[in-house]
Amino acid sequence: MIDKDGAEVVKEKSLRLEIGKWGESAALNYLEGEGYTLVQRNFRSPDGEIDLIMRKNEELVFVEVKTRTSVDFGFPEEAVDDQKLDHLEATAGWFLVEHAEFEENWRLDIVAVTGKLGSSSPEIKWFVNVGNA
């Protein structure tokens, strides 16, 4: 139920943002544990946003993070369809144009995070090189 001031809508949006930030942090910690370094977080372009941009061995990795606190409505990775991949690839293109210092190879990955909000041990699935191109 939404009260006259829209407080429930604000509360729900705030919770979604908190879940998303928690998932991004879990994904970042996981990838850093795999030897990747963070280049940028939440890069925005006219085509969309990329959650994490990581680097390892002269390769850039553009990472879309999807987070769920349960799989009742599907697995997090199922939220990334072909249209979303197209937007992510276009956004990666914007980053590469703006940052000519990165001349290395690149790829697009998905990290799916599932678990209780705030958990220190969520389930993490990493899908490598998922781009449409």
Q: Provide the residue-wise pLDDT of the chain in tens; the chain has 133 residues.
A: 455 555 666 788 888 899 999 999 999 999 999 999 999 999 999 999 999 999 999 999 999 999 999 998 899 999 999 999 999 999 999 999 999 888 779 999 999 999 999 888 999 999 999 986 5
pLDDT at position 23: 96
Find where tokens 């943002």 sit.
Answer: 17
Q: Which residue has the tokens 């977080």?
A: 41
Within a domain: 1: no
Asked, for residue 133, whether it belongs to a domain, the answer is no
What is the predicted pLDDT for the residue at 109? 98
- Would residue 20 count as lying in a domain? yes
CA distance 92 to 90: 5
Q: Is residue 74 part of a domain?
A: yes
* 120 part of a folded domain: yes
**Residue 88 near residue 49 (C-beta atoms within 8 A):** no
What strands lie across the sheet with 37-45, from one edge to the other? 37-45, 48-56, 59-68, 105-114, 123-127
Task: Count the Cβ atoms, other than its own, within 10 Å of residue 121.
Answer: 8
pLDDT value at position 1? 46
Residue 10: per-residue pLDDT:
72
Q: What is the CA radius of gyration of the chain?
A: 16
C-alpha 16: how far from chain center? 14
Please tell me the total count of domains within the chain: 1
Residue 93 is assigned to a structural domain of this protein: yes
Residue 13, pLDDT score: 82
* Residue 63 structural domain: 7-127
Is position 132 within any domain? no
pTM beyond 0.75: the answer is yes
In CATH, what number is assigned to the domain containing residue 93?
Answer: 3.40.1350.10
The whole-angstrom separation of Cα 97 and Cα 73 is 37
Is 70 a domain residue? yes
Return d(Cα 117, Cα 82) in angstroms, integer: 28
